[in-house]
Amino acid sequence: MDASREVYVEFYDYLNLGDDLLFFVLAQRYPHVRFSYIAHHSTPETFPLPNVRRIRRVPYIDGVLRRLRIPFRLNQTYREWIIRRSRHAVRLGGSLYMEKGEWRENVHRDRTLLACPGGAVFINGNFGPWQTQEFLETYVALFSEARDVTVRDESSLTQLAAVPGIRMAPDLIFTMSSTPDAAERGGVVVSLIDLDGRAGLSQHRHGYERAMAELVDDLAANGHHVTLMSFCATEGDEAAVERVNSLIAQEARASVTTYLYRGDIDAALTVLRKAEAVVATRFHAMVLGLAFGCRVSCVEYSDKVANVLRDLGLGDLGWSIEEFVGASRAERYRRATTLEASPPGDLARRADEHFAVLDRMLSS
């Protein structure tokens, strides 16, 4: 296929289940469109779709150039060449727009997407945290040049109100809504994250992991099978699973298994679809649990979780890490097994609005 007819997509390609699903949902929605992306950690098996082209990075050369202090990066130049030759560019969100580290480099990468001949769209992001007016004004200016910008929470919409035409819809993964037969359900999925190195949270790591192990012990003692689930090895989920697993009481071990996501999207979704309940620290564990009709309770490691629950009128399903660690074992067990999620019935339809402009752009 002519590369000029392709749509270039940029997303967090680090074998994170939530971000992989964003791309998978996009590519499945438009089977008549060829999508390309530059691979970082995914394999050809991650997205086994005929309309997806995986572009490999050129290895080693940029490291050599960096060591030689030559101010040129081959992969950066290659990426910009691909963007200029593509039909449109899509930036798939999540937590992309934060004022931390070398944020100006991220702005530069986002701005280069605007060079695509058919324009760029920025979909499903959440904005912040940020500290300076410069950061806000920089992204307002950038987004104002895009064909479309959508965010997934009211907080981001309010902060970016100066962007013409910006729209808000629930996370686009809610379009995957499905409710398996109740007879197929069983067990509790516990999604974990690694708090090491997370600003304002790392001091809670031991308490969080101990509290999770206690919850697993109590679930097992009351007849529940528990699956400890990692969404992203790169971000330390697997290390957290291993540590929590080591803290579980011996008598509970027969009732506990682990699932480590490493690129098999269908297998991961099967684990979540068949769960009766989800104890979610990962944002998209919460989203998928609600989408699949599970009982959900959330440990809020980020404002993005609290913001979305508030938008959905489900704030009682979430508690902060401090609250989770400080709660009694009885309270943790109660919330994991008795709170009933009642998300709005039109979530899938509302989430579909992220694609409203892209539908028109890709209709021919």
pLDDT tens-digit series, residues 258-305: 999 999 999 999 999 999 999 999 999 999 999 999 999 999 998 899
Report the pLDDT value the prediction gives residue 181, as an integer from 0 to 100.
Answer: 67
Location of structure tokens 């790591």: 205
pLDDT digits (tens), the chain, 364 positions: 455 589 999 999 999 999 999 999 999 999 999 999 999 999 999 999 999 999 998 777 777 777 878 787 777 889 999 999 999 999 998 889 999 988 999 999 999 999 999 999 999 999 999 999 999 999 999 999 999 999 999 999 999 999 999 999 999 999 998 776 666 789 999 999 999 988 889 999 999 999 999 999 999 999 999 999 999 999 999 999 999 999 999 999 999 999 999 999 999 999 999 999 999 999 999 999 999 999 999 999 988 999 999 999 999 999 999 999 999 999 999 999 988 877 878 999 999 999 999 999 998 7
**3-class SS at 2?**
coil
Listed residue (24, 97, 91) closest to 54, CA to CA: 24
Separation in Å, CA 259 to CA 247, 269, 272: 17, 11, 10
Class of 3-168 per CATH? alpha beta
**Letter string b/e over residues 245-280, b meaning 16 or more CB atoms within 10 A of that residue's CB:** beebeeebeebbebbbbbbebeebbebbbbbbbbbb
Q: How far is CA 60 from the centre of its chain?
A: 29
Q: Are 249 and 287 in contact (CB under 8 A)?
A: no
3-state secondary structure of 223: coil
Q: In the numeric block, which tokens belong to residue 87?
A: 């039909």
Instruction: Give the Cα separation of 339 and 324 in Å (integer).
Output: 15
What are the residue ranges of CATH 3.40.50.2000 in the chain? 182-338
Q: Residue 82 and residue 188: Cα distance in Å, rounded? A: 44
Residues 6+ apart with CB under 8 A from 10: 37, 38, 89, 90, 91, 92, 109, 113
Q: Which residues contact 162 (CB under 8 A, 6 or more apart)?
A: 140, 144
Is the domain covering 182-338 a CATH 1.10.10.10 domain?
no
Cα-Cα-Cα-Cα torsion 215, 20, 204, 313, nearest 10 degrees, comes to -70
How far apart CA 224 and CA 240 sit, in angstroms, is: 21
* Contact by Cβ (8 Å): 22, 3: no
pLDDT for the residue 329: 97
- Looking at the chain, which runs of residues are DSSP E strands? 7-10, 35-39, 52-56, 88-92, 120-125, 148-151, 167-168, 188-191, 226-230, 256-260, 277-280, 295-300, 318-320
- What count of other Cβ atoms lies within 10 Å of the Cβ of residue 188? 24
Region of 54 please: left (phi>0), alpha (psi -120 to 50) or beta.
beta
For residue 88, the SS3 value is strand
